[in-house]
Amino acid sequence: MKILGIVGSPRKGSSTDLLVDMVLKGAVSKGAEVEKINIGDLNIAFCTGCMECRQTGVCRITKEDSDDDLAMIIEKITETEGLVLASPVYMRYVPGQFKNLFDRLVSQIIITPGKNLTEIKCRIPGKRNSVVIATCGNPDIKMASETLEFLKTTSNMCGNGGTVVSELAAGGLMLPGQINTDKRTLLDLASNLNLPEPAVDNMMKQYKSIKEQAYQGGQKLALLI
């Protein structure tokens, strides 16, 4: 069984990336084979809206640009039985680079007029369950709701109606890799933000809990395959 993690943060050493690592670790502990892709490492041209793919199922850019990575991503999704989609919140939504990947993946979606969202099918065969993760700077994770909704809808489409087995959101994240950072760094951050010292203990507790949930989400995903 193979699980693919797609990290939507363009930032190196990001908390989103670290949380995907935790999910994949959990999956490996239950026997899964895993792979991770970071959006910042991909070359995905913008969708030009030509709509040619609606008739052919193949994106025109894929045919014309051999350096474009969409075909490689489709191949990787084809090989997997589970997906982990994770993204930071940018202006209440996913980063443009990540959104663009899914705009291009519309070439794989079979849209039948009159059918509702849950009936939308993907040309990439097979059902895939998923774990979705959103991270945001606002301590209130309600800020991540549109991002989570996007991740759930897209994983559902790419997974031909598979189940989202775990949905996680982490808030209050600003520094790179903050979810794994030490107490000293968090105390400095709290002091810059005029937060009281006990807030740091609270942050550390929350980070521990979300990482545990990510690990368990990965285990669940692997066991359901």
Ligand X SMILES: Cc1cc2nc3c(=O)[nH]c(=O)nc-3n(C[C@H](O)[C@H](O)[C@H](O)COP(=O)(O)O)c2cc1C
Residues that bind ligand X (CB under 6 A): 9, 11, 14-16, 88-92, 135-138, 143, 173-174, 176
Distance in Å, CB of 87 to ligand X, minimum: 8
Distance in Å, CB of 15 to ligand X, minimum: 4
CA angle 167, 138, 96 (to 5 degrees): 70
**Separation of alpha carbons 90 and 10, rounded Å:** 11
**Separation of alpha carbons 175 and 16, rounded Å:** 12
Query: What is the DSSP-derived secondary structure letter of residue 66?
Result: T
Distance in Å, CB of 140 to ligand X, minimum: 8
Nearer of residues 62 and 181 to ligand X, judged by Cβ = 181
**Separation of alpha carbons 44 and 32, rounded Å:** 28
Distance in Å, CB of 101 to ligand X, minimum: 16
Nearer of residues 59 and 133 to ligand X, judged by Cβ = 133
Nearer of residues 88 and 162 to ligand X, judged by Cβ = 88
Nearer of residues 62 and 90 to ligand X, judged by Cβ = 90
Residue 131 CB partners (closer than 8 Å, separation 6+): 23, 82, 83, 84, 85, 164, 165, 166, 167, 168, 214, 217, 218, 220, 221
Nearer of residues 9 and 107 to ligand X, judged by Cβ = 9
**Separation of alpha carbons 19 and 134, rounded Å:** 10
Q: How far is CA 160 from CA 1, 104, 122, 132, 156, in A?
A: 17, 17, 6, 16, 6
Pairing of strands 82-88, 109-110: unpaired
Distance in Å, CB of 154 to ligand X, minimum: 18
Minimal CA–CA distance to 125: which of 172, 80, 93? 80
Distance in Å, CB of 207 to ligand X, minimum: 12
Nearer of residues 15 and 130 to ligand X, judged by Cβ = 15
